[in-house]
Amino acid sequence: MKKAVRYIGYTFQDCYRAFPRFFVLTYLLDGTGTACEVFVPLLLARILELAGEGQGGKELAAVIGLYGLALACGPVLEVFFRASSKRARVLGKKYFGSRLAVFSAKIRLEALEDPDTLDKFHRAEGGENSQFIFFEQVNLALRKLATCGGMMMVVGRYSPVLVVTGLLALLPALSTKIYFEKKITSFRRGQSPVLRRCQYLRGLFANRETVKEMRVMGFEGHVTQRWEEANRARLKEFQETELDVRRKQVWGIIVMSVCYVVNIGVAFFLMAGGRISVGAFAACLAAFSAYDASIQMLIAMVFNAVHTYRMVEDYYDYFTIPTEVEGDLEYRPFEEKIAVQDVHFRYSGAAGEALDGLTCEIKKGEHVVVVGENGSGKTTFSKLLTGAYLPSRGSISYDGQRTEDLRRGSLYEHISVVPQDFVRYRFTLGENVGISSLKRMGDTKAMEELLAQVAGEGFLEKVGGLDVQLGREFGGQELSGGEWQKVAIARGLWKRSSIVVLDEPTSALDPLVEYEILSRFVEMIQDRTSVIISHRVEICRSADKIIVMKDGRMVECGKHQELLAREGEYARIWREQAKWYV
């Protein structure tokens, strides 16, 4: 409840920020519209009274004029309102969409490993601009509530009994609708993981790589079947709940109609008993009609607003995802060493620790290779080393500057990373490389030289130059897996950073080509500190230091010959892989 009050507060505050003029206009128009609605039955009664007393003349004409004006007022204001509402909707979309984007850029990278984050994002996207709809629904509900109140005041002038019977019409229908709306919303929300699974499965058919693999490997039909099953289950559950809810709603409508008839009946008996005049009876008829229509709208709006509130909640819940914990220390390039001390790290939801007390150090200018079998924690180490993730225990410090104390952006300026799951940007070749250091994007000569070094002399000519669009999606040229990897490495080197981290971006290549590329890479970064993560050991021969990892810890550290002589984990891996290189 407290949360709902807070979120509704945010909604109104944000709506005011997004469209201040429409915000104020809404209340002005709503106030005027409600006053006109309440005057209609009162003016009608007056007309009948004047006509009944046989008084025509100026007063009657004036009252009829006012009556017409009050009747026309509603539709005219409505037109006004609709026109400005369209613009406000666009402003809201812009405001709420950009807040989401700005926040997404600040989310802690570790949080992205958590499937719950993806769920929240999916839901928040659905809730984007629901604030605008919620604002409109709440205001319409308030307006209808004010109309209902006004109508009760009108009938209350003639008899308090009518107020009591009138109010009775409101309560049962309202409570049933709120109850069922809650039920259907919680059902919809409960489905989110199913929905995400359906979208994931369908997404496999929109991705060229997966379609290719599914078709060639012959499991396309199996995936289609899984998607169909998931979708069928989703639809079936939805239809059953929807049907159940609609059936129960019919009862609410029946109760309301009965109440309406009872109200008119009571007014009629009061008139027949001589307790109210014919004019008052007419005013009651008009008031009950308006009241009935307003109740319907009020309930519909409360019903819709409760539903929309869930989306509002999804939107604001997204902002509870942890953001990057930024230190305020500006990074000062390290001169001596990076010290990794007793570092522990566990992924959210994982049973064990991915890093379990890792301790090592990297000196300035050293070329370090981190080796170990799959799952030993190499990639996790690279993520912590670059400050993308923070240790849950222990520390990583650059000449004493701990990653958690640093303003991460200032550290990133000095680090270049080529990750395992590098991105194939559907941009031109030049952009694909130059994007890591936009300032030097125009230096085409340097870029061509770099590409020749990383990818070989003939590469640029083969692709057709730096301006060639890459990727078939936009009619560009497609590269092979290995060529994309070379482009990613060139991108990593284009950024003139003092530290370079290479996380197995060559793993899809055959061992000899991989060795050739990595050797060239090492030659090109002689003047920088580098960390190469690899599960292949051939590259270790030329390394200044080899860190051997196992079960999230460093088990050995040294140079190639030293480690071979030690006959431990490194020697074992080396012997296993030696057959590839002979």
The residue ranges that bind ligand ADP (CB under 6 A) are 113, 347, 350, 354, 372, 374-380
Q: Which two tokens stand for residue 506?
A: 């060559």
Shortest distance, CB of residue 350 to ligand ADP, whole angstroms?
4
Shortest distance, CB of residue 215 to ligand ADP, whole angstroms?
29
CB 321 within 8 A of CB 75: no
523-555 residues labelled b (16+ CB within 10 A) or e (exposed): ebbeebbbbbbbbbbbbbeebebbbbbbbbbbe
Task: Label the pairing between strands 401-402 and 355-363.
Answer: unpaired
For residue 549, what are the β-bridge partners?
372, 554
- C-beta closer to ligand ADP: residue 252 or 372: 372
Shortest distance, CB of residue 202 to ligand ADP, whole angstroms?
23
Q: Which two tokens stand for residue 372?
A: 């170990």
- C-beta closer to ligand ADP: residue 311 or 385: 385
- 438 CB burial (10 A radius; 0-12, 13-18, 19+): exposed
- C-beta closer to ligand ADP: residue 176 or 380: 380
Shortest distance, CB of residue 379 to ligand ADP, whole angstroms?
3
Distance CA 444, CA 430 (A): 8
Shortest distance, CB of residue 577 to ligand ADP, whole angstroms?
15
CB 121 within 8 A of CB 81: no
- C-beta closer to ligand ADP: residue 375 or 482: 375
Shortest distance, CB of residue 378 to ligand ADP, whole angstroms?
4
DSSP letter for 276, please: S
Shortest distance, CB of residue 108 to ligand ADP, whole angstroms?
13
The DSSP result for 330-361, as a single string, is: PP---SSEEEEEEEEE--TT-SS-SEEEEEEE
CB 430 within 8 A of CB 447: yes
- C-beta closer to ligand ADP: residue 14 or 503: 503
Shortest distance, CB of residue 552 to ligand ADP, whole angstroms?
7
For residue 556, what are the β-bridge partners?
548
CB 154 within 8 A of CB 212: no
Region for 470 from its dihedrals, namely left if φ exceeds 0, alpha if ψ lies in -120 to 50, beta otherwise: beta
For residue 574, what are the β-bridge partners?
none
- C-beta closer to ligand ADP: residue 113 or 317: 113
Three-class DSSP category at 241: helix
- C-beta closer to ligand ADP: residue 47 or 358: 358
- C-beta closer to ligand ADP: residue 479 or 573: 573
Shortest distance, CB of residue 389 to ligand ADP, whole angstroms?
10
- C-beta closer to ligand ADP: residue 354 or 531: 354
Q: Where are the alpha helices (DSSP H) in 53-129?
A: 57-104, 115-126
**CB neighbourhood size of 463 (10 A):** 19
Distance CA 520, CA 513 (A): 11
423-432 residues labelled b (16+ CB within 10 A) or e (exposed): ebbebbbbbb
- C-beta closer to ligand ADP: residue 150 or 552: 552
CB 370 within 8 A of CB 362: no
- C-beta closer to ligand ADP: residue 375 or 476: 375
Q: Which two tokens stand for residue 50?
A: 């004047």
The upper half-sphere exposure of residue 311, i.e. CA atoms within 13 Å in the direction of its Cβ, equals: 16
Shortest distance, CB of residue 505 to ligand ADP, whole angstroms?
13
CB 66 within 8 A of CB 43: yes
Shortest distance, CB of residue 566 to ligand ADP, whole angstroms?
21
First vs last Cα of the chain: how many Å apart? 70
Shortest distance, CB of residue 201 to ligand ADP, whole angstroms?
21
Nearest one of 126, 141, 119 to 96, comparing CA atoms: 126
Shortest distance, CB of residue 342 to ligand ADP, whole angstroms?
17
**CB neighbourhood size of 41 (10 A):** 27
Shortest distance, CB of residue 501 to ligand ADP, whole angstroms?
12
- C-beta closer to ligand ADP: residue 252 or 377: 377
Chain center to CA of 120:
6
Q: Which two tokens stand for residue 1?
A: 């409840």
- C-beta closer to ligand ADP: residue 372 or 492: 372
- C-beta closer to ligand ADP: residue 303 or 345: 345
Nearest one of 262, 256, 254 to 165, comparing CA atoms: 262
- C-beta closer to ligand ADP: residue 295 or 354: 354
Shortest distance, CB of residue 377 to ligand ADP, whole angstroms?
4
Q: Is the dihedral of CA 237, 238, 239, 242 positive or negative?
A: positive
